[in-house]
Copies of this chain bind each other. A is one copy, B any other.
Amino acid sequence: MINIGIIGYGNLARGVECAIRQNPDMKLTAVFTRRDPATVKIMTPDVPVVSTNEVESWKDRIDMMILCGGSATDLPKMTPAIARDFNVIDSFDTHANIPGHYANVNAAASESGHIAFISLGWDPGLFSINRLYASAILPEGKDYTFWGKGVSQGHSDAVRRIPGVLDCRQYTIPVPEAMDRVRSGENPTLTTREKHTRYCYVVAQEGADKAAIENAIKTMPNYFSDYDTTVEFITMEQMKRDHSGLPHGGSVIRSGVTGWEGENHQTIEYKLTLDSNPQFTASVLVACARAAMKMKARGMTGCYTIFDIAPADLSPMSREEMLGHML
């Protein structure tokens, strides 16, 4: 039985709580929060909610701490700090800062003799290993990553900060024609605009200047100005009724060639269609907790990523079951 602690209690943490329930070899031991623990109500019966101030005293009761903070400000500090006392897993997803985060966490975990996995989830995570597998198998080729259709929380937040906006849900949508060109073996060079479109459902304050809001969205640098963006104003009721989920997904496609003269085209495609982005990410974290325990038992300490995990270590199956039923 793997005793798991969760730090934080947002969407991702609730997903971890649900995923633990689906894995009979896992047990939720405690949830740690920066809020007043009395105000945090979790779903699992008889599991304590504890202040993060007391986390150190749980050292001997928790095998793996799953960190459910944000990548912007929480995890860069939290993961190395907690790795001094616990085995840790995070979903740090700021791609450009991964090497620095890795170095910090590796230093802390190596020194304390713990194992740490960073940047798990689906991108970075499952999409990353699919890029790696596919590029190793088809060295002459090109990778393409498409996201969506799904809700981008960062883009939704950016729109919510525009004056006059009460709520927004931003969907990222891959362009089907671009995906077909990639699958055909054409190996196109695609601009940002050619790969994805963006669709914003916006609830505006009464009397707000909708034309100004629409213009502010469409011209927002980094977030929207490089995309064809559609803005649709809806009511708060419509928002709650039709857009309360957090679906996402996407595809990693490698288009490559084999043969003496590269005469044969080969395509590898990996596709996720997710009703709940945070729950799926959580499910990856929980499977990786099992792998971490097996790797730690073999004496491995320090920081690793999904690239370092042999698939067998993720599974609760024995080698005999795997060879007999999965291979």
Binding site for B on A (CB under 8 A): 15, 17-19, 21-23, 43, 95, 98-99, 102, 119, 124, 126, 128-129, 131-133, 135-140, 183, 245, 258-260, 264-276, 279-280, 282-284, 287, 290, 305-312, 314-316, 320, 322-324, 326-327
Contacts and interface: CB of A to CB of B under 8 A. Distances in A.
A133 B310 contact: no
Contact of A131 (B131, B183, B326): B326
B326 A128 contact: yes
A136 B327 contact: no
A79 to B, nearest CB: 15
Nearest to A92: B327
The count of identical subunits is 2
A305 B284 contact: no
- If over half of A's interface residues share one DSSP class (helix, strand or loop), that class is named, otherwise mixed; here it is helix
Given A131-B326, A135-B315, A307-B312, 16 more contacts: A23-B139, A95-B327, A126-B268, A132-B314, A258-B282, A259-B279, A264-B276, A265-B275, A266-B272, A267-B274, A268-B271, A269-B271, A271-B271, A307-B322, A308-B312, A309-B310
Given A18-B259, A270-B270, A310-B310, A102 B323 contact: yes
A311 B133 contact: yes
Nearest to A314: B136
A272 B283 contact: no
Contact of A128 (B21, B98, B132, B327): B327
B276 A268 contact: no
A266 B287 contact: no
Nearest to A285: B137
